[in-house]
Structure 1
Amino acid sequence: MLRQYELVERVKAYDPDADEDLLNRAYVFSMKAHGSQLRASGDPYFSHPIEVAGILTDLKLDGETIATGILHDTIEDTVATQEEIDRLFGKSVGRLVDGVTKLSRIEAQTDSERQAENLRKFLLAMSNDIRVLLVKLADRLHNMRTLHFIKSEDKRRRIARETMDIYAPLAERIGMYGFMDELQELAFRQLEPDAHETITARLAKLREGGGDMVARIASGIKLVLAQKGVEADVTGREKRPYSIWKKMQGRGMNFEALSDVMAFRVIVDEESECYRALGIVHGRWPMVPGRFKDFISTPKRNGYKSIHTTVLHSENARIEVQIRTRRMHEESENGLAAHWAYKQGGEGAQAREAYPWLEDLLEVLHDAATPEELLENARLAMFQDQVFVFTPKGALHQLPRDSTPVDFAYAVHSDLGDSCVGAKVNGRVVPLRTRLVNGDQVEILRSKIKAPDPAWEGFVVSAKARAAIRRHVRHKNNLESQSMGHKLLESLALRLKTGLGDELVGPALGRLRLADRGALELAMARNQLTDAQVSEALVPGSTAGQKPRRTRGKPGPAAVSIHGLTAGVSFELGACRPIPGDRIVGIRHPDQPIVIHTIDCVSLADETGEWLEVSWGQETDGAVARLAVVVHNQPGSLASLATTLAAHNANIVNLALKHRDREFHTDVIDIEVEDLKHLTTIIAALRQVKAVVSVERMRG
């Protein structure tokens, strides 16, 4: 553990103007506050914040950040208060400490809720001052280095999983690859101990068989470059076990099939020398096709710059070579901390400008409706594998691998995503679920109406797109439910033969303990209140002696019209597949959409929900009907079937072959129809087709 004077000397070595008094006071305060507390290792707890501060000095961060590292656990784990930290160390340090502090006292019901709230607070604080993230990463790194002292395997695995899902990707996003590599490696050791042990043993065996191969190859590369006039530092290393395991999983191969388990870094002074060195390396050893990436001309979103190539070395080994300048190398190891001048303080506005993904992350977190969704969005937003695509004007965008045009549209702007109706990739119109690849040029076709399709959620991969679609669905759900509740309330008023003026509704809201009429309508739509409860609240005594109604006749004037409402939001169609024109009834269950059945549906006999009078609106948007068609097994049968359907303006939604023998086959066809009359006409027309043996409407 660093002593007080050693810590101060470290900071003064790179920042002679650092506030020495602040560091000394923080050191003494933290030591007294933690007192006799011990860590799982048996060491004094105070050693942890000091080690965190030591990690931060390696990044050459400012005095306030170092003090924050020393104090970061005092509010959470001691009797120290936020007000005390603010008073003794200033508002700036207090704000940083508060940002890093976990909400350990939050009263949440589940671990996921606690984790989500901690993450939400941390990310919001990080957006205001990026130094919060640097302290948190240093804190997590030291905790992972000592994770093996925790006795509970479940707890170790939970911390390791959180590190792998959240903190390692965060380190990657700000270009701190040194932190990312170590965090991933330590987490991998806990999550996949057998795989880690096996790969480590294989590497040791390979090392024994090949001698000091890494040193020999590094010396050879340096000599070849020097002979061509390029002075460079060349270092080599075996790839980390986690990196090897990830490649084995991604490519579906075993260890023996991997040939590029060594990586070498060529570090030069100028950017132009990077390309000279690349030419020399490719001239000396054959390049492996498809393994070249130029992150100097097109840097990663986190600012990472380097040239990556893989060559077949003369020792019959594939080796990865990374070529970069000294400045690029420093930034690749420490990322944001390498170029975030300590005197600037790393304000939130600077962080958002330098790292636009942070703004996107905050947006998707804001849109999350549940703790589980927040954690899912955070993991998606920090997805590591990227694909590079361009706008028609040549602007570069980096997206998660397997992104679609919808992901691209939301990455450009939320409004563009909401109004997207189609896309062109490389000048050709493609389906919106098309997967984009590196170099694609994407043009979004849009409409004036902002209405994202809920089905998009099934194929988008970016957190921003998924969060926006879910936000729209929730908003639409509320609107549709409100509309359904309004119709239900009006229907109830008709049956009660009363009005819905404020003089009647106001007292009813008080009896039901609801804030306003909108809350009443939502509660009715979601069946959180029965008709009897609302009737009694509107007209006390009106339900005396009444029995639940089950309607099998023609819908009365109080029937709720489902015209203008969306199936799947405020109501769903039952397995009997009702279409406009069928006589129908609604079944209500608490907090679920109303299910619409035909009045003769066989499943109604076992239905336990509340029955509701419903009717089709005067104008409908059509529906999908299912037909079972038996046709002769001969050439042209399906063609004649499709021709007849097209002649009657019926679009085929789905077609499946159900049965087939030598003479006949039965096709199940889903078609779009306007109403029952339209369907009846189509069935009659199909029965006149020579190839058709029989046609029946399918229920269920």
Structure 2
Amino acid sequence: MENLKEETQSEEIQYYNEAEKKEITKRYRRILKSAKEFLKEGDTKIIRKALAISMEAHKEMRRKSGEPYIYHPLEVALICVEEIGLGPTSIVCALLHDVVEDTDITLKEINADFGPKVTQIIDGLTKIAENFEQTQSAQAENFRKMLLTLSQDVRVILIKLADRLHNMRTLGSMARNSQLKIAHETIYIYAPLAHRLGLYQIKSELEDLYLKTTEPEIYKDISSKLNSSKASRKRLIDSFMRPISKRLRAAGLDFYIKGRPKHIYSIWKKLTKQNVAFENIYDLFAIRIILKGVSPNEKEKEKASCWQAYSIVTDEYKPNPDRLKDWISTPRANGYESLHTTVMSNSGVWVEVQIRSERMDEIAEKGYAAHWKYKGADTSLDKPLDMWLNQVRDTLAAKDNSAIEFLEDFQSNLFNEEVFVFTPKGDLKVLRKGATVLDFAFDIHTEIGRKCTAGKVNSHLVPISQVLQNGDQVEILTTKNQKPSEDWLRFVVTSKAKARIKDLLKEGNKGYVTDGKEIITKKLKHLGLESSLEVFNQLRAYFNKKDYNELFYFFGKGYILPDEIKKFKQEKDAILNRQKKIVIDEKAFKDAKAFEKEIKKVKGNDTLLIGDDMQQIDFTLARCCNPIPGDDVFGFLTINEGIKIHRNLCPNAQQLLSNYGNRVIKARWASQIEKSYLVTINLAGIDRVGMIQDISKVISSELHINMRGLSVETYDGIFEGKIKVYVFDTVHLDVLMNKLSEIDGMNSVLRANADEIN
């Protein structure tokens, strides 16, 4: 086994003590051991060289935990090998992934030592070093840059996912606002991206770590309940599998079983989405039957074995006909193959059963990386993912889009299911679920989409807005005189169609954009306002437009009249008058770090205290999530409305923290608050005489809580209600919700995600 003796004896390594040098060597050896099957002659020497350079480059750097920084690239490299299945090139890139960004080493030096392929990947992993204006998003720009390299080499994203996974595993030592930024960026982009690339293990862990970071109490509660039911789950699995195992062996099938409980994040999503208690979730776990001994070269035999196992399972237990998913005949766009069915066990519990071969299971666990292993056996394996990567390239081709617009389009396509449709010649096309005839036309070619006037679906004439279903055969009808319409953007769903339509519209709208800018400039001058970038940006936000071109276009087209700017000026003046009392003008600062320094000057610390009358800084509570004392919150520096306080679980938190993390401010509740806050609570249960009276009694008589409103709807013996009450903090709210839960017939009591006050 290779070691680092020659490097550790050099003068540069004096920055690491003996214990740290031993730990570095231990981790390095583990990487080589895990990568043994991938290594060819000379690979170990290159990897050792990469580690030596990284150790030297990072020698003076420590992580927040106090550990040497070099532990991080070592762990990223280990994740690449053990959990994703990547080889020596990726190990080298993982070890070097931060050196260009964080040290004096240049890409030119990397190229000289390791060649163009490693240089290209490192460049894709290196953040853009430019300074961004307040209205721009560094995160979005960096992500777009990374994807530009992804379209050439997918290892860029795989290494970035390994990097993000290790960062999420070690978030505990970071400041709270940094934790929130990283966690929300992870759930917004990186977890969906892992899902799209088929890395289900990594996707699940990223989601769980997000919940553990943002809502530690919820995570701890679900984790505890899962652990306490572990023994009963094992008994259920054993009992369930006993007759199936016997019949599988009798049929000559070689197999093993994996019992997989649902991960904590997915349970939490189900709890909040379905408004049910933990005990009422019936499919808390799935059983996987993994078939062994089937060669990847024998695709038909592999499929037949899976269907044979399915037949045995459904002969033994009654299946739910609505829950069969055949991902073997038509794999998902990320290459995922498996048979899924849900059957009723003898104990009266629904059990999800997944049936797949060992090859399919490895692809399900390791996604795109596993395809390389089987590429020689079946070149068709890469087709679904190649189709998706082509879609990424198409999205990137729309260069006029802002980075934020690109990121939103890209993110919206990551988690969606697919629809499988056919051309008139029988070629398969995989589109996002909800895709229309027009989406299909643009998927074939931009010119076909531009001229599309109607379609034929299964030989029937349909409009271009017709939503396609699995198995549809689609023919596009075109005319030369057809022109794209803004209305098209209302019903297309694929990134490619949206981008192409926007490009076509921009070509025809350039004159309106120029006219609009001129109209706005003249009106601003008339009102005595400066035609500056800041004022244009305030107008963009005021009229809720994505970018300047859209703003100018709406004025040029006459959709917004010049006199509307007068209203903008009146509101702007009113806001300025209200904020004269503020000691710090938060709009003067481009990001939260500069602003926090000013808070520190006034208050003695860099955290905004909500409810502290001495703070001397204006803020408002966001209406989208209605935070109350006790909620985990953050401050957000807006362009026109000062500071807004949001809950971590706010519906808008992911987008704000992912796109504009540089405008996030640390915030917490002041301890001396004695003020009531409006909260909405959703109720559901069995309808009976006196239910509303019992609810009112708990609220008004027992707890003396002021109630703003109560609305109840009943149907077929069930009621659903919504109450709006004033509470002091989350402790006060918990007492109320616990009391309401004890009412006879009450099934669920849940705080609404967003307040609905108008």
What is the aligned counterpart of 2:369 among 311, 334, 337?
337
Q: Is the counterpart of residue 34 in structure 1 residue 66 in structure 2?
A: no
Once the two structures are superposed, the pairs formed by residues 587-598 of structure 1 within 5 Å of their partners are none
Q: Is the counterpart of residue 423 in structure 1 residue 455 in structure 2?
A: yes
Counterpart position of 1:365 = 396
Counterpart position of 1:20 = 44
TM-aligned CA distance change 1:148 to 1:13, over 3 Å: same
Per the alignment, in what secondary structure is the counterpart of residue 455 of structure 2?
strand
The one-letter code matched in structure 1 to 2:117 is S
The one-letter code matched in structure 2 to 1:402 is G
Instruction: Check whether the contact 1:381–1:462 (CA below 8 A) recurs between aligned residues.
Output: yes
Shift of residue 186 of structure 1? 1.7
Please give the alpha-carbon distance, in whole angstroms, between the structure 2 residues aligned to 1:426 and 1:127: 34
Shift of residue 129 of structure 1? 1.6
Please give the alpha-carbon distance, in whole angstroms, between the structure 2 residues aligned to 1:204 and 1:370: 46
Q: Which has the larger radius of gyration?
A: 1
Please give the alpha-carbon distance, in whole angstroms, between the structure 2 residues aligned to 1:87 and 1:567: 49
Counterpart position of 2:248 = 225
Please give the alpha-carbon distance, in whole angstroms, between the structure 2 residues aligned to 1:306 and 1:115: 35
TM-aligned CA distance change 1:243 to 1:112, over 3 Å: farther
Please give the alpha-carbon distance, in whole angstroms, between the structure 2 residues aligned to 1:295 and 1:210: 27
What is the aligned counterpart of 1:274 among 306, 312, 329?
306
Instruction: Check whether the contact 2:196–2:415 (CA below 8 A) recurs between aligned residues.
Output: no
Shift of residue 260 of structure 1? 1.4
Please give the alpha-carbon distance, in whole angstroms, between the structure 2 residues aligned to 1:130 and 1:194: 37
Once the two structures are superposed, residues 633-690 of structure 1 have per-residue CA deviations (whole angstroms, 9 ceiling, x without a partner) of: xxxxxxxxxxxxxxxxxxxxxxxxxxxxxxxxxxxxxxxxxxxxxxxxxxxxxxxxxx
Shift of residue 280 of structure 1? 0.6
Per the alignment, in what secondary structure is the counterpart of residue 429 of structure 2?
strand
Per the alignment, in what secondary structure is the counterpart of residue 35 of structure 2?
helix
Please give the alpha-carbon distance, in whole angstroms, between the structure 1 residues aligned to 2:184 and 2:321: 35
Per the alignment, in what secondary structure is the counterpart of residue 300 of structure 1?
coil
What is the aligned counterpart of 2:199 among 147, 153, 176?
176
Counterpart position of 1:633 = none
Please give the alpha-carbon distance, in whole angstroms, between the structure 1 residues aligned to 2:140 and 2:442: 24
Q: Is the counterpart of residue 137 in structure 1 residue 168 in structure 2?
A: no
Please give the alpha-carbon distance, in whole angstroms, between the structure 2 residues aligned to 1:383 and 1:251: 19
TM-aligned CA distance change 1:401 to 1:158, over 3 Å: farther
Counterpart position of 1:308 = 340
Counterpart position of 1:560 = none
Q: Is the counterpart of residue 99 in structure 1 residue 99 in structure 2?
A: no
Please give the alpha-carbon distance, in whole angstroms, between the structure 1 residues aligned to 2:202 and 2:332: 17
Q: Is the counterpart of residue 246 in structure 1 residue 269 in structure 2?
A: yes
TM-aligned CA distance change 1:224 to 1:571, over 3 Å: same
Instruction: Check whether the contact 2:418–2:431 (CA below 8 A) recurs between aligned residues.
Output: yes
TM-aligned CA distance change 1:446 to 1:256, over 3 Å: farther
TM-aligned CA distance change 1:408 to 1:279, over 3 Å: same
TM-score for the superposition, normalised by structure 2:
0.61
Counterpart position of 1:127 = 151
Counterpart position of 2:594 = none
Shift of residue 458 of structure 1? 2.4
Shift of residue 21 of structure 1? 1.4
Q: What is the root-mean-square deviation of aligned Cα atoms in Å?
A: 3.3
Counterpart position of 1:382 = 414
Please give the alpha-carbon distance, in whole angstroms, between the structure 2 residues aligned to 1:340 and 1:18: 21
Shift of residue 130 of structure 1? 1.8
Once the two structures are superposed, residues 250-297 of structure 1 have per-residue CA deviations (whole angstroms, 9 ceiling, x without a partner) of: 556554443111111111133121111011111111111211111111
Instruction: Check whether the contact 1:176–1:335 (CA below 8 A) recurs between aligned residues.
Output: yes
TM-score for the superposition, normalised by structure 1:
0.65
Instruction: Check whether the contact 1:388–1:397 (CA below 8 A) recurs between aligned residues.
Output: yes
Shift of residue 167 of structure 1? 1.7
Please give the alpha-carbon distance, in whole angstroms, between the structure 1 residues aligned to 2:269 and 2:36: 41
Please give the alpha-carbon distance, in whole angstroms, between the structure 1 residues aligned to 2:474 and 2:315: 36
Once the two structures are superposed, the pairs formed by residues 238-637 of structure 1 within 5 Å of their partners are 238-248=261-271, 253-268=276-291, 269-270=293-294, 271=302, 272-340=304-372, 354-367=385-398, 368-449=400-481, 451-481=483-513, 524=518, 527=521, 570-572=556-558
Specify every segment of 5 or more residues in structure 1 that has no aligned partner in the other structure, as ranges: 345-349, 486-521, 533-565, 576-585, 593-700
Shift of residue 567 of structure 1? 10
Which one scores higher on RCO, CA 8 angstroms, separation ≥ 6?
A: 2
Please give the alpha-carbon distance, in whole angstroms, between the structure 1 residues aligned to 2:53 and 2:306: 49
Counterpart position of 1:69 = 94
Instruction: Check whether the contact 1:477–1:569 (CA below 8 A) recurs between aligned residues.
Output: no
Please give the alpha-carbon distance, in whole angstroms, between the structure 1 residues aligned to 2:208 and 2:193: 15
Please give the alpha-carbon distance, in whole angstroms, between the structure 2 residues aligned to 1:88 and 1:145: 31
The one-letter code matched in structure 2 to 1:185 is D
Instruction: Check whether the contact 1:383–1:400 (CA below 8 A) recurs between aligned residues.
Output: no
Shift of residue 124 of structure 1? 0.8
Please give the alpha-carbon distance, in whole angstroms, between the structure 2 residues aligned to 1:388 and 1:237: 29
Instruction: Check whether the contact 2:333–2:385 (CA below 8 A) recurs between aligned residues.
Output: no
Please give the alpha-carbon distance, in whole angstroms, between the structure 2 residues aligned to 1:191 and 1:436: 38
Please give the alpha-carbon distance, in whole angstroms, between the structure 1 residues aligned to 2:49 and 2:243: 52
Counterpart position of 1:607 = none
Q: Is the counterpart of residue 56 in structure 1 residue 80 in structure 2?
A: yes
Please give the alpha-carbon distance, in whole angstroms, between the structure 2 residues aligned to 1:526 and 1:239: 55
Once the two structures are superposed, residues 569-596 of structure 1 have per-residue CA deviations (whole angstroms, 9 ceiling, x without a partner) of: 7332689xxxxxxxxxx97979x9xxxx
Once the two structures are superposed, residues 90-132 of structure 1 have per-residue CA deviations (whole angstroms, 9 ceiling, x without a partner) of: 33222221111122x2111148521121111111111122221
Please give the alpha-carbon distance, in whole angstroms, between the structure 1 residues aligned to 2:258 and 2:503: 49
Per the alignment, in what secondary structure is the counterpart of residue 259 of structure 2?
strand
The one-letter code matched in structure 1 to 2:361 is H
Shift of residue 384 of structure 1? 3.1
Instruction: Check whether the contact 1:409–1:416 (CA below 8 A) recurs between aligned residues.
Output: yes
Instruction: Check whether the contact 1:288–1:310 (CA below 8 A) recurs between aligned residues.
Output: yes
Please give the alpha-carbon distance, in whole angstroms, between the structure 2 residues aligned to 1:247 and 1:21: 49
Please give the alpha-carbon distance, in whole angstroms, between the structure 2 residues aligned to 1:83 and 1:233: 50
Instruction: Check whether the contact 1:222–1:233 (CA below 8 A) recurs between aligned residues.
Output: no
Instruction: Check whether the contact 2:439–2:497 (CA below 8 A) recurs between aligned residues.
Output: yes
Please give the alpha-carbon distance, in whole angstroms, between the structure 1 residues aligned to 2:56 and 2:274: 53
Specify every segment of 5 or more residues in structure 2 that has no aligned partner in the other structure, as ranges: 1-22, 295-301, 527-551, 569-758
Per the alignment, in what secondary structure is the counterpart of residue 570 of structure 1?
helix
Please give the alpha-carbon distance, in whole angstroms, between the structure 1 residues aligned to 2:239 and 2:270: 25
Please give the alpha-carbon distance, in whole angstroms, between the structure 1 residues aligned to 2:557 and 2:140: 32
The one-letter code matched in structure 1 to 2:262 is K
The one-letter code matched in structure 1 to 2:76 is V
Instruction: Check whether the contact 2:195–2:415 (CA below 8 A) recurs between aligned residues.
Output: no
Please give the alpha-carbon distance, in whole angstroms, between the structure 2 residues aligned to 1:142 and 1:99: 19
Q: Is the counterpart of residue 7 in structure 1 residue 31 in structure 2?
A: yes
Please give the alpha-carbon distance, in whole angstroms, between the structure 2 residues aligned to 1:261 and 1:192: 20
Please give the alpha-carbon distance, in whole angstroms, between the structure 2 residues aligned to 1:524 and 1:139: 47
Deviation larger for 450-459 or 125-134? 450-459
Per the alignment, in what secondary structure is the counterpart of residue 321 of structure 2?
coil
